[in-house]
Amino acid sequence: MAKKWGQLVRNWMTKNMDLPQDVMMDLPRITMIGQIHIYIENHKGLLTFTDKELRLLLKQGQLLIKGKSFVIKTILPEEILLEGRIDQVIYITENPGGTK
Structural domain spans, the chain: 26-92
pTM for this predicted structure = 0.72
CA dist 49 to 53, 64, 72, Å? 6, 10, 9
pLDDT by residue (tens digit) across 10-53? 666 666 666 555 555 678 999 999 999 999 999 999 999 999 99
- Give tens-digit pLDDT for 49-83: 999 999 999 988 999 999 999 999 999 999 999 99
Q: Where is 82: in which H helix or E strand?
A: strand 79-92
Third-level CATH fold of 26-92? Immunoglobulin-like (2.60.40)
